[in-house]
Structure 1
Amino acid sequence: MTNTDYRAAVVQGLRDLAAFLEANPAVPVPRHDVTFLYFPTRGTDAEMIAEIDRIAALLGTVPDPSDTIYGHHKARLTFGPVGYEALAVLAARRAQHQADVSYSGCVTPEAADAA
């Protein structure tokens, strides 16, 4: 499947989902916002930031500077509780996450009493 075919399939799938939910009001929807999330191809921080900035321009928005403290560079466009978000996780944040998960499996919590 080409990128163009895949893109068309995603757009059609979103339309089909919206039509299905509209036609079937008994089917529950999430009680929280729904985000369609795009991650750029991994590259240098500068490359990923440039890609998010490019997408932000296409969205008619600007990246949110408050996310920088979390090691993210992101642009978001919302349609009510539904959003499109382009997110780059920068190198320092990825390294911190890797360090955090390096202890996975090393600590075992005590079993809680089943009362």
Structure 2
Amino acid sequence: MSAYVIRSGDRAAFIAGLRELADFLTTNPGVLVPRNPSFGVLIDASDPAARREGLEFAAAPLGVPVEDLGEGYYDARRSFGPIAYSFIAIPPEERQ
């Protein structure tokens, strides 16, 4: 068993929801959209090495590097136009 936990959701439901949102926004041009939207998946682990390992595992399919933000925080993100898709590892004490 790995020393990290990835907080992921229902993949099919997420993709269907994105398509539904895109269709809704297309047919309702009066609805405002966010300037810098983002989606994030959290990686939980009690120690920095496990957080980084979990983030590297999750970020590999995105083809982006893991960035050490310091103080136990790690991030990996890929942009699709103005939308960011990211994996985030936060120290345990900050999640409470």
TM-score, normalised relative to structure 2: 0.77
| 1:84 alignment counterpart | 85
Contact 1:37 1:85 in 2 (8 A): yes
One of 13, 16, 25 as aligned partner of 1:12: 16
Question: What percentage of aligned pairs have identical amino acids?
Answer: 34
Q: Deviations over 1:32-88 (max 9, x none)?
A: 3111011013433222210101122111010123x22x5310100101210111000
Measure the CA separation in 2 of the matches of 1:85 and 1:58.
12
Most deviating of 35-44 and 19-28: 35-44
Calculate the aligned-residue CA RMSD, in Å. 2.2
Contact 1:73 1:90 in 2 (8 A): no
Number of aligned residues: 88
Contact 2:48 2:72 in 1 (8 A): no
Measure the CA separation in 1 of the matches of 2:72 and 2:51.
12
Which structure 2 segments of 5+ residues have no match? 1-8
1:45 aligns with 2:31: no
| 1:73 alignment counterpart | 74
| 2:4 alignment counterpart | none
TM-score, normalised relative to structure 1: 0.66
Which structure 1 segments of 5+ residues have no match? 99-115
Structure number with the bigger relative contact order (C-alpha 8 A, sep ≥ 6) is 2
Going by fraction, where is strand more abundant, 1 or 2?
2
Change (3 A) 1:89 1:41: closer
Measure the CA separation in 1 of the matches of 2:25 and 2:89.
31
Measure the CA separation in 2 of the matches of 1:12 and 1:41.
26
